[in-house]
Amino acid sequence: MEDQFVLDIEKLLWRGRGLARLDSGQVVIVEPGVLPGEKVRAQIQAHKKDYLQAQAVEILSPSPLRVNHPCAHANQCGGSPFGMVTSQTGLALKKEILIDALTRSLGYDSANKLLSSLMVLPSPKEWRYRWRGQIHVQDHKAHAMAQGSSKLVALQDCLLLAEPLAQAMSALAYDLPDGRHTIAASPDTGQVAHEYDPQCLSFSFSAFDLTIHLPAQVFFQANWDLNQTLVQLVASLVDPFDRVADLFSGAGNFALPLSRLGKNILAVEGSPVALKAGTDNALRLGLDKVRFQQANLSKDSSWSMVRDFAPQSIILDPPRTGAKGIGHHVTAIDSAQRLVWVSCDVINTLRDMQPLLAQGWEIGSMILLDMFPGTWHMEIVLVLDRC
């Protein structure tokens, strides 16, 4: 079989991959870097059960949406495949990808109803918005992973990183052993740190008159500017309720501001370092209506503490891999009326919420936040109410 084909890209799918078909009707999924309407020459990389996987090797007729990628590393680095379009176009493409995913999962009518009220929130910054990032260190130098392979690309700069972090990237890498590492900077002070640094960085929530301190190794929402909007949005969605369970709470991104508003919060988190950071901040700030508990929410036994707390509303913000089985646990919490599901993986979330939909919960609204401009990643918030 030939292994190069000329393909017409019909549309983008989840992960920013292009959908194309051979004359025979065989589906070809093309790796990120292509746009709808483009004709490309593509190299077949793998024969999957239902489709062929391919990589574009030449764009034969470029989309008028295409712009020059502003990053000097873009030809090799896989970090910002949506840098080939403006952030406005990128967000429009993400909306199309979301529509496709929702229609496949919920059916045309339900997806359409939900999309008619979709709120879309752009990122305040198109580039240099990340205050936390990962670098691959080799020989004391910063690298990124190459597009579609495990090869490393040496980095002089990264346009995704906030200015102080990009400037410190080489110096931070010099201190680190070979491997993948987290680096972070404070949006308040510009102070930088890597994951082994013990000192804390400060992060303010302007609408809540609140500043928290976190070590670089603890997860926080990298696009801190848009996170301000996310936290205010979540606070408004749980506003009618006093007792709120914040599950997969991290160091308390939602729990601490909500506790500042006077709500009773149970924050549940698996990582001991995130839990310690949340507890330390609550103590330092005198927030005594929030209780942090360490638990692995993949274990059935962890849910009794959530049931005993009797939350009226639950915030769920699981990792990208999702939270299989979570729908069954949430439906068993009789006190819960509203679920605010914060997700960076739409496909896994739609999978995990099926038991809730089967038990009569309804998706009331959905918000798309462009937390990750320049990439195909997106954040969504889904609001489900028990009917």
Ligand X SMILES: C[S@@+](CC[C@H](N)C(=O)[O-])C[C@H]1O[C@@H](n2cnc3c(N)ncnc32)[C@H](O)[C@@H]1O
Active site residues: 344
Mark the segment that binds ligand X (CB under 6 A) among 48-56, 98-106, 161-169, 315-323.
315-323
Q: Which of 5, 127, 129, 219 binds ligand X (CB under 6 A)?
A: 219
Q: Is 297 in the site for ligand X (CB under 6 A)?
A: yes
Angle at 185 between CA 179 and CA 186, to 5 degrees: 155
Q: Is 298 in the site for ligand X (CB under 6 A)?
A: yes
In the list 270, 325, 355, 364, the residue contacting ligand X (rule: CB under 6 A) is 270
CA angle 63, 98, 248 (to 5 degrees): 130
Beta strands (DSSP E) in 64-222 are: 119-121, 132-138, 141-145, 152-154, 179-185, 192-194, 200-205, 210-215
Smaller CB distance to ligand X: residue 154 or 273?
Answer: 273
- Binding-site size for ligand X (CB under 6 A) equals 18
Cβ-contact 201, 156 below 8 angstroms: no
Smallest CA-to-CA distance from 221 within 233, 236, 231 is with 231
User: Is 274 a binder of ligand X (CB under 6 A)?
Assistant: yes
When the beta carbons of 29 and 371 are compared against ligand X, the nearer one is: 371
Among candidate residues 102, 127, 71, the one with its CA nearest the CA of residue 353: 102
CB 179, min distance to ligand X, A: 20
Decide: is 269 part of the binding site for ligand X (CB under 6 A). Answer: yes
Residue 253 binding ligand X, by CB under 6 A: yes
Among the listed ranges 52-60, 118-126, 190-198, 216-224, the one in contact with ligand X (CB under 6 A) is: 216-224
The residue within the footprint of ligand X, chosen from 5, 220, 341, 372 (CB under 6 A), is 220
Cα separation, 384 vs 326, whole angstroms: 14
Pairing between strand 119-121 and 379-386?
unpaired
341 binds ligand X (CB under 6 A): no
CA-CA-CA-CA torsion sign (272, 276, 282, 286): positive
**Would you tell me which residues interact with ligand X (CB under 6 A)?**
219-221, 248-250, 253-254, 269-271, 274, 296-298, 317-319
